[in-house]
Amino acid sequence: MNLETLRLYCDVVRLRSFSRGASANEVSQSAASQAVQQLEADLDVNLLDRTKRPFTITPEGRIFYEACRDLLDRYEQAKARISSPRTRLDGTVRVAAIYSVGLHDVSRHLQIFMSAHPQAKVRLECLHPQKVVEAVINDEADIGIMSYPPPIRSLTVIPWRSEKMVLVCHPGHRFARRRLVMAADLNGEKFVAFDPDLGIRKAIDRSLKQRNVKVNVVMEFDNIETIKQAIAIDAGVSILPRPTVLKEVGIGSLAAVPLDIPDLLRPVGIIHRKQKQLSPTVARFIESLRKAGDDAGE
């Protein structure tokens, strides 16, 4: 039994697949299966129930998985402590981000980071907000970047930035010529909204309700990119974070107008597992993100 075998077992369980776990560790599926079987023989217990497809983890297997994950985290922590601060950064940073942040800000920033640290790699995956949380909790990502990060006890939340929200409309819309849109002006207006279960939708609804404003929701989507497309065909207006529409405003496909709701901001945070010891490369990436986010919300 060695660390490589324990890491392989954790990946098989985490990814719920022998083939994907084997691929993550660059071994064959047969080798992964034999390694888990050897673990079971050493422990004299069934870690996985293979009578089901896909397999399920047994109660004993769950206990062993949590213990192995803790051991591996402690090992990485010990390595980080004894490594010289001057050691060059290498390894991979796994990032899960919501689409509106990942497609623009993070994708641009990771290129800058990898140019500054050629031995390091950043792997970015853009996901639905709930999937970002799941990826971090299940150790499929080292960090997550999302708006309205949830207060989950197992997660550490690092505030990154607050983004001003603006009224976004078609360039030919009557609001496009305004210098300021009052909340009351939105009463009865055709509105392209976020899905009801998203934090940003709840924040917008709450803010409008406080001002006794009722919009006419004509469409609902789970991401900003699709909302922008709907606005571009003049399906309605919406309230979006200003940084997410700068490109479209610049080329004239959308118009963004300030709202008289100054306290309506979108908080964006960086999340990671509390018990996970971050590698020097991950820690440096977070540090560089925080520096880049100081004024990006304006």
DSSP-assigned letter for residue 186: G
Share of the chain above pLDDT 90, in %: 59
Q: Name which of 67, 62, 30, 35 is nearest 48 in CA terms.
A: 62
Q: Specify if 96 maps to a domain.
A: yes
Q: Specify if 117 maps to a domain.
A: yes
- pLDDT for the residue 278: 87
Q: Which of 41, 62, 82 is the last residue of a domain?
A: 82
Query: Are 147 and 286 contained in the same domain?
Result: yes
Query: Are 255 and 192 contained in the same domain?
Result: yes
Q: Tens of pLDDT along 11-68?
A: 888 778 888 788 877 889 999 999 999 999 999 999 999 888 788 899 999 999 889 9
The torsion of the CA quartet 1, 51, 141, 272, rounded to 10 degrees, works out to -80
Q: Which domain holds residue 32?
A: 3-82
DSSP for 71-104, please give it: HHHHHHHHHHHHS-TTSPP-EEEEEEEEHHHIII
Q: How many independent structural domains does the chain possess?
A: 3
Query: Are 146 and 271 contained in the same domain?
Result: yes
93 vs 111: CA distance, rounded Å: 12
State the CATH number of the domain containing residue 78.
Answer: 1.10.10.10
Q: Specify if 297 maps to a domain.
A: no
Q: Name which of 140, 129, 138 is nearest 95 in CA terms.
A: 140
Query: Are 175 and 239 contained in the same domain?
Result: yes
State the CATH number of the domain containing residue 178.
Answer: 3.40.190.290
Q: Specify if 135 maps to a domain.
A: yes
**Residue ranges in 83-216 assigned as alpha helix (H):** 99-101, 107-116, 129-137, 199-210
Confidence band of 151 (pLDDT split at 50, 70, 90): confident
| Paired strand residues for 41 | none
Contact 9, 36 (CB under 8 A): yes
Q: Tens of pLDDT along 121-139?
A: 999 999 999 999 999 999 9
Classify 25 as helix, strand or coil.
Answer: coil
How many other CB atoms sit within 10 Å of the CB of residue 56? 13
Q: Name which of 141, 163, 189, 138 is nearest 241 in CA terms.
A: 163
In sign, the C-alpha dihedral spanning 187, 193, 196, 201 is negative
Query: Are 276 and 157 contained in the same domain?
Result: yes
Q: Tens of pLDDT along 74-133?
A: 887 676 666 545 556 778 999 999 988 887 778 888 888 888 888 889 999 999 999 999
Q: Specify if 298 maps to a domain.
A: no
Query: Are 241 and 279 contained in the same domain?
Result: no
Residue 100, Cβ density class (10 Å: 0-12 exposed, 13-18 middle, ≥19 buried): buried
44 vs 40: CA distance, rounded Å: 6
